[in-house]
């Protein structure tokens, strides 16, 4: 069974986090969320993360670099939300982990402002996308695309809350194949003319 680690921080965009988490679980992926603290403070249990719209989400665990490597998970996901994406993408342990996943040929997904983690992690120039609000920060260093989802080798990027379903379904397909993607997508009852 494939496994995935999804980061969360205060300010993470709720839809990008929950739609990705939920869709992966529906596909049978073992998913764990890890709270990235803005100040590296820790208590016994991770706090409720306050999302970008003020919705509280309880993470599964704190982010521990030693327990988060590509030997433990098949996919690493960085959601957006301006404040949350900044906290996650500026974390040096996260940056190192992203490079380790790519070097180990494991998938890394980034959505919305989460795509800034490609830049802070110093990933090489390649196709990617992001939320329009951070396009100017990325287009000089990457082959910027307006596509809803961009797959570049093991890096998968997407635009925002409105592309969270095609992003999550693409991750399902990459991990488990097209048949599993369709099996998960069908019961979600998207309108008949939905293109993803």
**Active site members:** 16, 112, 131
Coil, strand or helix at 137: helix
The answer to whether the CB of 138 falls within 8 A of the CB of 115 is: yes
3-state SS class at 182: helix
* Residue with tokens 């080798």, as numbered in its chain: 153
> Residue 37 in contact with residue 62, Cβ under 8 Å?
yes
Q: Please name the residues in contact with 163: beta carbons below 8 A apart, sequence gap of 6 or more.
A: 111, 148, 149
DSSP secondary structure letters along 47-111? PPEE-TTS-EE--SEE--GGGSSTTT-SEEEE---HHHHHHHHT-HHHHHHHHHHHHTT-EEEEE
Residue 179 buriedness (CB in 10 A; 0-12 / 13-18 / 19+): exposed
**C-alpha pair distances (Å), 137 with each of 92, 134, 177:** 19, 5, 33
């Amino acid at each position: 069974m494939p496994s995935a680690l999804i980061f969360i921080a205060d300010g993470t965009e709720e839809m990008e986090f929950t739609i990705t988490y939920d869709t992966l679980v529906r596909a049978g992926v073992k998913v764990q969320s890890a709270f990235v603290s803005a100040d590296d403070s820790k208590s016994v249990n991770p706090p409720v993360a306050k999302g970008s719209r003020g919705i509280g989400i309880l993470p599964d665990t704190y982010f521990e670099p030693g327990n988060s490597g590509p030997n433990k998970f098949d996919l690493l996901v960085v959601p957006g939300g301006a404040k949350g994406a900044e906290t996650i993408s500026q974390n040096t342990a996260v940056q190192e982990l992203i490079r380790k996943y790519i070097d180990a040929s494991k998938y890394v997904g980034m959505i919305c402002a989460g795509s800034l983690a490609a830049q802070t992690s110093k990933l090489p120039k390649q196709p990617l996308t992001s939320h329009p609000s951070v396009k100017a920060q990325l287009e000089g260093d990457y082959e910027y695309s307006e596509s809803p989802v961009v797959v570049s080798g093991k890096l998968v990027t997407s635009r925002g809350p409105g592309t969270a379903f095609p992003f999550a379904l693409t991750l399902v397909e990459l991990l488990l194949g097209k048949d599993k993607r369709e099996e998960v997508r069908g019961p979600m009852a998207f309108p008949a003319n939905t293109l993803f």
